[in-house]
Amino acid sequence: MLEYLVCCFDLILHFLRKPANRWGAFIALPIVVVIALLLPTLLYALLSQAVLLLLMAYLRPMWIVEFMHWTNLRKNDYTVKYQTVGDFTFCYAEKGVSSPNQASIVFFHGLSATKDMWFPMVTAIPADRHVILLDMPGHGDSTQRSDDSYSFVDQASRIAQFFIAVGLKPFHLVGISMGGGVAVAYAGLFPKDVAVLSLLCPAGLPGHEASEYLRDVGRGLIKVDRGKLPINATEQHKAFAYVFHAQKGTTVARLYSWFAFEVLRPRQVMHCKVTKDLEEDVNSKVLLDYLPRIRSPTQVLWGKHDRLVHISGADVLKSALPDCEVHVLPKCGHTITYDRPFRAVKLILEFGNKK
C-alpha cells in the first residue's frame, strides 16, 4: 500500500514540473488524492465480490437466483405470499391492493419459469396498480407433485380455486407461452372472471406451424430430454439462440448457458411431467374448444423472430377471435419480457385502460 502511494505522489510531482499544469493541479489534486486512497479498496471490494459470486454459482447457482429475486421484490415493493386451497399451496408476489375502479393485473408465466420472469416488464407498471405474479402449478414455490395433472385445462381449473380463495375477480389476465395457453383455457372456462385478456406468444394452439426449435429438435440438432428441454449446458447454449432475439453478431455467453442449466436441472423431472401433460392437450386440440367461449376483449402480442412458438399461432387466434387486437413486435423473439419488456407493458396497459 505504501509503495502504491509513493508511486502516485511521484506521478503528481512529475505533472507539476510543467508550469502550465500547475493551475489545473489545484483542482485535480484533491480528486487524484481521493482516487489514490480509495482505488485499492474499491478494487479489493470488486474482486472479492466477483470471487464470491463465482464461488456461489459453482457451489449452488440457485443462491444467486434467489438473491436476485429477493432484490427485485424489495426494489419493486412486491410481497411474497402463500395461499393454501385444500392440499395445494400457491405462491405469488403481490403489489398494491385491488380496487373496484380498476381491474387487477394477473400474470401467468411460461414453462420452466417462475413468477420472477416478469420483473423486467412489471417495473414499468404504475405504482397504484394492483398486480399479482403467480407461480404456476408445478413451478416455483407452488406445490409440485408428480401425480397431479398439469394440462392447460387442469391448471386453469386449479388456479380458479386460488382466485376464489383470495377473492379476486374480474381481472386483466396476462399469460405468456405455457401461461398463455392456460390463460386461454381459463378465459374459456370462466369467462366472467376475465375482464381483459392479453396473450403473449401463447403455446398449445393447434393448427399453427411447427416452430424452428421443434423442427431442429426433430432433426437431432439439439439434444433434449423427455420435456424437450436441453440435456446439458452445451445444448442449453444452443437453445438460447431460439429463446432470445440476439442482434446479428452477438451471442449469449457460455457462462450464462451453464448457469441457466444448473438452475433448471434440479426440476427437470417435474418439467418433463408438465410437458407430457401439456402435449396431451395439444395433440387432442383441446384449446380449440375454449377459444369460442372467450368473451373478454383480447389482445395478442408476438415476437416477429419467435423461434420457439411459431408466429402463425397469431393467425389461429385471429380466426377464432376476429375482434382480437394483434401486435407483432419487431426485434423480438419468444422472451418478450426480456427482448421488448417496455413496449409490451405499454401495449398491455393501453389495451386494458381503453377496455
Beta bridge partners of 81: 92
**Cα–Cα dist 338/219, whole Å:** 28
Dihedral sign (CA 99, 119, 155, 315)? positive
Q: Is 320 helix (H, G, I), strand (E, B) or coil?
A: helix
249: left (phi over 0), alpha (psi -120 to 50) or beta: left
Quick check: 293 and 247 in contact, CB under 8 A? no
Residues in the chain: 355
In this structure, which amino acid lies at residue 336?
I
Which residues are within 8 A (CB) of 62 and not within 5 positions of it... i.e. 6 or more apart?
A: 263, 266
Q: In this structure, what are the phi and psi dihedrals at residue 227, rounded to the nearest 5 degrees?
A: -90, 10
Closest C-alpha among 48, 44, 153, 163 to residue 94: 163
Residue 265: its pLDDT value, please? 84
**Cα–Cα dist 8/64, whole Å:** 38
**Cα–Cα dist 168/218, whole Å:** 42
**Cα–Cα dist 216/241, whole Å:** 12
**Cα–Cα dist 278/237, whole Å:** 25
Taking only the tens of pLDDT, the chain with its 355 residues reads 445 444 445 555 555 555 555 555 555 556 656 666 666 676 666 676 666 566 555 666 666 677 777 888 888 889 999 999 999 999 999 999 998 889 999 999 999 999 999 999 999 999 999 999 999 999 999 999 999 999 999 999 999 999 999 999 899 999 999 999 999 999 999 999 999 999 999 999 987 788 999 999 999 999 998 888 898 988 998 998 898 887 655 666 676 777 788 888 888 899 999 999 999 998 889 999 999 999 999 999 999 999 999 999 999 999 999 889 999 999 999 999 999 999 999 999 999 998 6
**Cα–Cα dist 265/267, whole Å:** 5
**Cα–Cα dist 161/84, whole Å:** 10
Residue 254: its pLDDT value, please? 74
Confidence (pTM): 0.83
Dihedral sign (CA 199, 201, 203, 208)? positive
Residue 6: its pLDDT value, please? 47
Beta bridge partners of 91: 82
**Cα–Cα dist 76/68, whole Å:** 12
**Cα–Cα dist 185/176, whole Å:** 13
The secondary element (H helix, E strand) that includes residue 133 is strand 131-134
